[in-house]
A and B are shown apart, each in its own frame.
Chain A
Amino acid sequence: MNYAPQMNRRSFVIAAAAGGGGLALGLVLPFGPRGASAAVGGPEINAWVVIQPDETVVIRIAKSEMGQGTMTGLAQLVAEELECEWSKVTIEYPTPGQNLARKQAWGSMFTAGSRGIRESQELVRKGGAAARQMLIQAAANGWNVPASECSAAGGVITHKTSGRTTTFGKVADAAGKLEVPKEVELKDPKDWKIAGKPLKRLDTLEKLTGKLVYGIDVSLPGMLNACIKDCPVFGGKVKSFDAEKVMGMKGVKKVVRVGESGVAVVADTWWQAKMALDALPIVWDEGENAKVSSASIAEWLKAGLDADQAFVGNQNGDAKAALANAAKKVEAVYSYPYQNHATMEPMNATALYTADKCQVWCPTQNGDAALAAVIEASDLPAPKCDVHKVTLGGGFGRRGFTDFVRQAVAIAKQMPGTPVKLLWSREEDMTHGRYHPVTQAKMVGGFDANGNLSAFHMRISGQSILASVRPENLQNGRDPATFQGLNPSGLEAAIGYTIPNLLIDHSMRNPHVPPGFWRGVNINQNAIYLECFMDELAHSVGQDPFEFRRKLMSEHPKHLAVLNAVAEKIEWEKPPAQGVHRGIAQMMAFGSYVAAAAEISVVGDSKIKIHRIVAATDPGYAVNPAQIERQIAGSFVYGLSALFYQQCTVKDGRIGQENFDTYNSMRIAEMPKIETIVMPSGGFWGGVGEPTICVAGPAVLNAFFSATGKRIRSFPLKNHNIEFA
């Protein structure tokens, strides 16, 4: 039943090499060999900065913008060190091919794990600072004065002693010919003037007029359109198809096999391709996986809750012995379903293949991996391939994968010289995801005679993302990412409680449904498991859930600070209004500390009205507080949609939900008021796109218990006939 991913050695080597710059952060300076000038023209100062004669500052962005605002935040960091005028800033994306040719001058392009800013901040700030130094040096050379007597501000360079001034645009040519300095000093964040400010995004106007080109909008001369069906059962294959049945349909140009498991129709328009594909008789070889169902998966995972073998994620004291001797024990089993990313823009890629070149235009979170996929699928040498990153209509982790890129190249390869745009239907997208993994958790807490929590065992049973996606990152078979937010220590995702006897372990069971990194990844379920069970423990001994947590958190001051912040803002100490009930939760992940408190009322016995959610985050440094607020509010839409509505069921080996009618997502009427507390404490860099998603669910669930006395331990809530009021 284990799903064995096909690892391709060649693409792995390329992807690993491409990732090197990002992983070696802090050791690798962003200064690659000189390349050609920017596509927009104007001299390149270094890899990050191009300055045009009209003083326009072009900042290169290596990470993918998918709505999370990383483009604006990274540009703020470069501009801060560069000392340019913010109103003169525009951006461009280097291509993954340029990144490869310039030996990862821009670091890793992989944009996931809320790492866009935190993992490249040093690289881009140094890029901006080096460019500033070079511009100043060029001006100083022109004046024949020492650079140390000159300074830059707002794109103007001033020689302090003589008062002479010049501009970036005037010295850019000369600056671009200078050596890139090896050592640069970065500003203290307390001196920031552009970074740290709630600036507006750089890319909004085109999103309001329909002009912005997303992957789905790419158009090339002579381009044809493709619609695809991959075997509905993961791991299955195409047995046969009858192309003759549809070749006469209007606009249809070709019916092609795509790898072993897919069939695509290529036509003048996508709608024609889709109509023909719907009419195309296809016989599938569904294989053994066709026997798998949600029930069979659940049964297998359930057995893992008591299995002898398990990978340990966190352990101190002797939890099993302490539980055996506990004065009081509490036990509960929770489970979490498969979920699809459901980006608004379905997967797509446009490919043009000729005998000596292959180019792809696609929305991707991982430009480097997309390029590796093109090289592999086209079977052309790397210098003959490139990827042009196009705006993403949402990513949430799904577009870090390259399955759709490989398909587009496989189709284009069968039509050399003709550009082909492959677009998945929503139905294809829903049934061929990289799903939020499925797990169950059994938790047991033990109290001593004085009512203190003396022991805690959490057994997770279920799917590992890394076993499927990055098997090379497993540690002797153990998937460390499974324990996200539950780790004993560390700066990434540590548990916020100290319990004398603790064991958190994982019985790995990997069904054939392919898992992926889904916004928030493993904290989505881990926070529900841990924070709802903490609530259960508190109530079992008649203690206030906030105070109960605080007693266990004294050694975790940053976790405690965000929890205190939401409790204070929601006035936890005062009783809520009549009929209103509260819940609270905290977690740490992606390097940030987050907490939420919710106020709800329950209409009838199953309709939840969420009045407000107070959310706090400590991301260390806040590069753009306005965009962080938007990420937090948006993350709750993603998290609450999952909590209330979303489950991908498995029947006969395939996913049962094909569109938004059976896989719903929140609307504006259901949106609670989100009050955000951004409280950067400095000294570390945390992410902001994902961490808060995980606390909305447990905060609401704990409030629901407070209101009704009912514990919900399986999801989504619609399965319990619980809905938004």
Chain B
Amino acid sequence: MARFTVNGKPHEIEVDSTTPLLWVLREQVGLTGTKYGCGIAQCGACTVHIDGTAIRSCSLPISEAEGKQVTTIEGLAQNGVLHPVQKAWLEHDVPQCGYCQSGMIMAVAALLMEKPKPTDADINAAITNICRCGTFQQVREAIHAATNA
């Protein structure tokens, strides 16, 4: 039995303890905003927050999320108000296909908790998600816009 909290809601789920958090979120909790891209923590499409830190959920066994607070893309907006990163993304029309953007947004939101005014170098070091559509130019613009809002 895995016990953990997702977007403020406690869950108790009967699942093999080696199952990656990503698949528990998608298949047991029923939150599909977090995406599968590679399964080996390379692409970042599965990025969520655990106790406020960005992690790649495809490579984290559910046993390691025991008792932790997990935040997914579905839980980023609070009381129906978009998170500043989501607002900047909307304003700058960032996504193309959008598939990687849940993970991209979660990675950026975590960066801004740590560094509210990241430099380009900070962004380069922290944001290593793959986007095959190539939205990076808009991503960078939107990050700077979000921190100046």
The judgment on whether A and B are partners is yes
For B74, what are the chain A residues with a Cβ–Cβ distance below 8 Å? 209-211
A426 contacts chain B at the CB level, 8 A cutoff: yes
B131 contacts chain A at the CB level, 8 A cutoff: yes
For B97, what are the chain A residues with a Cβ–Cβ distance below 8 Å? 66-67, 343-345, 391-395
B89-111 with Cβ < 8 A to chain A:
89-90, 93-102, 105
| B43 and A210 contact, CB distance less than 8 A | no
| B98 and A67 contact, CB distance less than 8 A | yes
| B43 and A205 contact, CB distance less than 8 A | no
Given A217-B32, A667-B127, A668-B139, does the pair A67, B86 have CB atoms closer than 8 Å? no
Stretch among A131-139, A292-300, A455-463, A657-665 lining the B interface: A657-665
Given A208-B89, A344-B99, A392-B97, does the pair A665, B132 have CB atoms closer than 8 Å? yes
Residue of B nearest to A216 (CB): B36
B147 contacts chain A at the CB level, 8 A cutoff: no
| B42 and A209 contact, CB distance less than 8 A | no
For A346, what are the chain B residues with a Cβ–Cβ distance below 8 Å? 36-37
Interface size class of B (residues with CB under 8 A): 35 or more
For A343, what are the chain B residues with a Cβ–Cβ distance below 8 Å? 97, 99, 132
A50-82 with Cβ < 8 A to chain B:
66-69
A661-B89 Cα distance, complex, nearest whole Å: 28
A183-B76 Cα distance, complex, nearest whole Å: 51
A213 contacts chain B at the CB level, 8 A cutoff: yes
B61-118 with Cβ < 8 A to chain A:
72-74, 76-77, 82, 86, 89-90, 93-102, 105
Within the complex, the shortest CB–CB distance from A516 to chain B, in Å, comes to: 15
Mark interface residues in A509-540 (1 if CB within 8 Å of B CB, else 0): 00000000000000000000000000000000
Other-chain residue from B34, B123, B135 in contact with A210 (beta carbon distance below 8 A): B34
Mark interface residues in A180-218 (1 if CB within 8 Å of B CB, else 0): 000000000000000000001101111111111110110
Residue of B nearest to A638 (CB): B134
| A67 and B130 contact, CB distance less than 8 A | no
For A204, what are the chain B residues with a Cβ–Cβ distance below 8 Å? 89-90, 93-95, 98
A416 contacts chain B at the CB level, 8 A cutoff: no
A204-B97 Cα distance, complex, nearest whole Å: 9
A189-B33 Cα distance, complex, nearest whole Å: 40
A69-B124 Cα distance, complex, nearest whole Å: 27
For B136, what are the chain A residues with a Cβ–Cβ distance below 8 Å? 633, 637, 666-668, 671
For B102, what are the chain A residues with a Cβ–Cβ distance below 8 Å? 210
> Residues of A within 8 Å of B, CB-based: how many?
60
A19 contacts chain B at the CB level, 8 A cutoff: no
Within the complex, the shortest CB–CB distance from A446 to chain B, in Å, comes to: 39
Other-chain residue from B37, B76, B127, B139 in contact with A426 (beta carbon distance below 8 A): B37
For B119, what are the chain A residues with a Cβ–Cβ distance below 8 Å? none
For A634, what are the chain B residues with a Cβ–Cβ distance below 8 Å? 96, 133-135
| A630 and B138 contact, CB distance less than 8 A | yes
For A219, what are the chain B residues with a Cβ–Cβ distance below 8 Å? 30, 32
B23 contacts chain A at the CB level, 8 A cutoff: yes
A330 contacts chain B at the CB level, 8 A cutoff: no
Given A209-B74, A344-B43, A344-B45, does the pair A394, B132 have CB atoms closer than 8 Å? yes
Q: Which of A69, A216, A344 has the most CB of B within 10 A?
A: A344
A208-B16 Cα distance, complex, nearest whole Å: 31
| B36 and A208 contact, CB distance less than 8 A | no
For A342, what are the chain B residues with a Cβ–Cβ distance below 8 Å? 132
For A201, what are the chain B residues with a Cβ–Cβ distance below 8 Å? 93, 95
B128 contacts chain A at the CB level, 8 A cutoff: yes
| A637 and B93 contact, CB distance less than 8 A | no
Q: Which 6 pairs show the lowest CB-CB distances between chains A and B? A: A210-B33, A637-B134, A67-B97, A393-B99, A207-B98, A634-B134
What is A's interface to B at a CB cutoff of 8 Å?
Answer: 66-69, 200-201, 203-214, 216-217, 219, 225, 250, 269-271, 342-346, 391-396, 423, 425-426, 626, 630, 633-638, 641, 659-661, 665-669, 671, 673-674
Given A344-B132, A426-B36, 16 further pairs, Cβ under 8 A: A201-B95, A204-B89, A208-B90, A214-B99, A216-B35, A250-B16, A270-B27, A271-B27, A343-B97, A344-B133, A345-B37, A394-B99, A633-B135, A633-B137, A638-B134, A669-B125
A-B contact pairs, 20 of them (CB 8 A): A66-B97, A208-B73, A210-B32, A216-B35, A271-B27, A343-B132, A344-B43, A344-B97, A425-B39, A630-B137, A630-B138, A633-B138, A637-B132, A638-B132, A659-B42, A660-B43, A665-B132, A666-B134, A667-B129, A673-B137
